Amino acid sequence: MNLSRIKVLVTGGAGFIGSHLVDALIEEGCSVRVIDNLSNGKLDNLRHNLKKPGFEFFSGTITDPFDAARAVKDIEVIFHLACLGVRHSISHPFENHRVNAEGTLLVLQEALKAGAKKFIHCSTSEVYGTAGYVPMPESHPTNPCTVYGASKLAAESYARAYYKTYGLKTIIIRPFNTYGPRSHHERDAGEFIPKSIVRALNNEPILIFGDGSQTRDFTYVEDIARGIIAAAKCDDLIGGTFNMGSDFEMPLKELAQMILSYTGSGAAVEYVGERPGDILRLHADSSLFKKRTGWRPPMSLNDGLKRTIQWFMSRPEGISALLEQEKGINWE
């Protein structure tokens, strides 16, 4: 499928991955509409696109039938990324479920009614829970540890049902952990890499919940955005579910040392109690997706981390202001 000059919708397009996807779609020549309620997203992430021809920002919520219908009107391809995050689900399970599962169901229904040609559903590696074996192909069992993982798995199932029952052309992608500029350090949206960068730049200890032997498979956000576009272009993926990762396993305690070294920080690493619902091991096998689409994530973790640190250092509000938004224990 050729994406240039077609009209696409990005739900959650003011968020971390969504805003990079918007940049990449505009580069592809698409007209892009975003629906986002700015609960975690920021208009700042889109400011450079607001006046571009064909770009449209719609402040609305995917859980409202009127907003969802308005968002999908005249859209050919939907990229569904809007969600509430993993730590949020620990303290707000019902609200998390309503957006991630019910909100997805509503967008699927409105997409079908509006005659959308394709629906790219952005799921997550959190649907797997801790790896039973590595690397993890798509056939690995799904045993999510949190309401976030469970609600994202329900959403995937709805997307599959809309393909099987109603013929909506859905593609499900499961990105593994993603990092880079515009990632969240703040409140319960905060992720390990951005939180640790903000702490290290302020000479505050990096916090590791548990013993730090937990592993993740990290991919740079611009590579993930290009991967999502590669998925949309590949008709061979319709009806399928695909991992997207670097296929490289990184223990958090090693990652903490890299962040300390690249920030030049004299801070320490502090080991604190375990995080509820924490996944102990994730390591993608994305060979199926790579083979079908030709996608590769070229950014090394070294270079990606350095770019991410540069981005945080260049924030106009200043690095100490960012620390005030960083909550340490961020799931309570």
Task: Return residues touching ligand NAD (CB under 6 A).
Answer: 12, 14-18, 35-41, 61-63, 81-85, 99, 103, 122, 124-125, 152, 175, 177-178, 184, 189
What is the helix, strand, coil percentage profile of the chain, to 5? Answer: 45, 15, 40
User: What residue type is 143 in one-letter code?
Assistant: N
Question: Nearer Cβ to ligand NAD, position 63 or 293?
Answer: 63
Question: Nearer Cβ to ligand NAD, position 25 or 99?
Answer: 99
Closest approach, Cβ 61 to ligand NAD, in A, equals 4
C-beta separation of 307 from 180 below 8 A: yes
Question: Nearer Cβ to ligand NAD, position 39 or 257?
Answer: 39
H helices within 202-277, ranges in order?
221-233, 252-263
Closest approach, Cβ 2 to ligand NAD, in A, equals 25
Is 179 a known active-site residue?
no
State the DSSP string of 10-63: EETTTSHHHHHHHHHHHHHT-EEEEEE--SS--GGGTGGGTTSTTEEEEE--TT
Closest approach, Cβ 16 to ligand NAD, in A, equals 4
C-beta separation of 148 from 126 below 8 A: yes
C-beta separation of 205 from 274 below 8 A: no
Question: Nearer Cβ to ligand NAD, position 61 or 265?
Answer: 61
Closest approach, Cβ 94 to ligand NAD, in A, equals 13
Question: Nearer Cβ to ligand NAD, position 22 or 269?
Answer: 22
Cis ω before 65 (30° cut-off from 0): no
**Strand pairing report for 55-59 and 206-209:** unpaired
Closest approach, Cβ 72 to ligand NAD, in A, equals 13
Catalytic residue among 128, 133, 148, 163: 148
| Catalytic center residues | 148
